Amino acid sequence: MFNRIIIKGHIAADIEFYPANGEKKALARFRVINNESSKPESRKFAANCTAFGQRAEHISKFYAKGSAIIVEGSIYDTSWEKKDGGTGYGTEVIVSDTDFADSKKPEAPDAAPAPAPEKASAGKKR
C-alpha cells in the first residue's frame, strides 16, 4: 500500500513545539493551509501535521506562522477522547520531509544593493 502526500501551503498558526525530554523525541505540531487559487471563494485544504525528532527541531527553528512550506509525509487517522467523554476523529500527516516554498531568496541584512547597469547612449559615436 502506498501512503504518501505532498502539500504546498502556508503554516496557519504558531507551531506547537515540545523539545526532546529524556527518551521522548522532540515533537512539532502545525497546520498547513492550501488554497486552490487566489480567488477568495476558492476551496481551501487544511492538514494537521506532526513531526518528530530532528525534523521537528528543524521546523521549529526555520518556520513560523505564515511561512510557505512544502510538506511530505504519510496520512493517518487519529482518535481521542473528548472532554465530554465522546470520541473525536481526525486525520493527520506524519511529516517525513519539508522544503521551503518561498519563491524569493532572503537577502543578507548588511548586503549592499547591486549597482545599476550603465545605460547605453542612444546616439551613434562618430
Q: What residues does each domain of the chain span?
A: 5-100
Q: Would you say domain 5-100 falls under CATH 2.40.50.140?
A: yes
Highest-confidence segment of 38-47, 51-60, 111-120: 51-60
**Number of H-type helices and E-type strands within the chain:** 1, 6
H-only helix segments in the chain: 53-62
Distance CA 46, CA 73 (A): 14
Q: How far apart are CA 102 and CA 67, in angstroms?
A: 8
What pLDDT is recorded for position 121? 47
Looking at residue 116, what is its pLDDT?
Answer: 52
